[in-house]
Structure 1
Amino acid sequence: MTSPIQRVVGQVFIPVRDMASAIEWYADLLGFDPGTSSHGGTIYDIPSDGETRLALDANRPDFHASGPPRFFLWTQDMAATVRHLEDLGVRITSDIEDIGSVYFVQFEDPDGNPLMVCQRR
């Protein structure tokens, strides 16, 4: 079967309520210099090292953050990652789990969005 839709993720949108606070929080989490949002203050493109882009989206501030993480970020040092999360006062919602191919930990941003970091085994 063929499809005109490519199996390539272009951008992931993270809903946020307060753009300025979200930019600061993600800048601390991911280690980048905060910038300014675009599209009338409703979109902020997080600087990324990969092809898939990540954006903060304040277009629908009445969202409900629920369910499992919709994506994950990579790390090469899970112990350092957990220490970093703890140092930032991030709400960690799982222990480090080993599922064979990766280790992962789950946590939440200030809006309650579920996030995950994985380390390859």
Structure 2
Amino acid sequence: MSALVRRLDFLGVPSQDVDRSRAFYRDVLGLRPDPTAAYEQWAGDTCFAIWEPEAQGMPFVAQQGNPWPLGVDDVAATRAQLEAAGVVFFGDTIDTGVCHMAFFADPDGNQLMLHHRYAPPAGGDPAA
């Protein structure tokens, strides 16, 4: 059977204030603006599309319980830079033995994680 799903097209970022969210993702996290879509920004090949569920007649619910992992080169340095910009992290940075992780949220409460794998998975693909 061939794969039914080919890729993740985008992440929908629920917001109650799209301008505030756009400023956070672009100015604080440094995501690349989309030249043709005001509320879309990019991290590598992943589009973060900000939208207001309530404007579509849906309830706003922040994405929680499964933080989106944002790949960075150095979790400690990136965390320090974000903390200097006012971002509050949940707890200490975690070292799992193969990666570092630090958890925080955007202004709407959508949970995010800084992530850096520093060792290949056991028996796995080192490029993973």
TM-score range relative to shorter protein: 0.7 to 0.9
Q: Name 1:49's counterpart in structure 2.
A: 44
Which whole-Å CA distance do the structure 1 matches of 2:73 and 2:34 have between them?
26
Please, what TM-score do these two structures have when normalized by structure 2? 0.74
CA contact (8 A) 2:34 2:40 kept: no
Once the 2 structures are TM-superposed, how far is the Cα of residue 85 of structure 1 from its aligned partner?
A: 1.6
Q: Relative to structure 1, is the Cα distance of residues 57 and 120 closer, same or farther in structure 2, using a 3 angstrom cutoff?
A: same
* 1:60-114 deviation line (CA, Å, top 9, x unaligned): 3642325323421100011111111211111211311011221100001111111
Q: Name 2:30's counterpart in structure 1.
A: 31
Letter in structure 2 aligned against 1:113: N
Q: Relative to structure 1, is the Cα distance of residues 9 and 84 closer, same or farther in structure 2, using a 3 angstrom cutoff?
A: same
Q: Name 1:89's counterpart in structure 2.
A: 86
Gaps of 5+ in 2: 119-128
CA contact (8 A) 2:39 2:51 kept: yes
Q: Name 2:72's counterpart in structure 1.
A: 75
* 1:26-70 deviation line (CA, Å, top 9, x unaligned): 1122225767995xxxx71113322x3221111336423253234
Identity %: 30
Which whole-Å CA distance do the structure 2 matches of 1:37 and 1:58 have between them?
19
Gaps of 5+ in 1: none
SS at match of 1:60: helix
1:58 counterpart = 2:22: no
Give the total of aligned pairs: 115
- RMSD (Å), alpha carbons: 2.5
SS at match of 2:81: helix
Which moves more between the two structures, 26-35 or 103-112?
26-35
Please, what TM-score do these two structures have when normalized by structure 1? 0.78
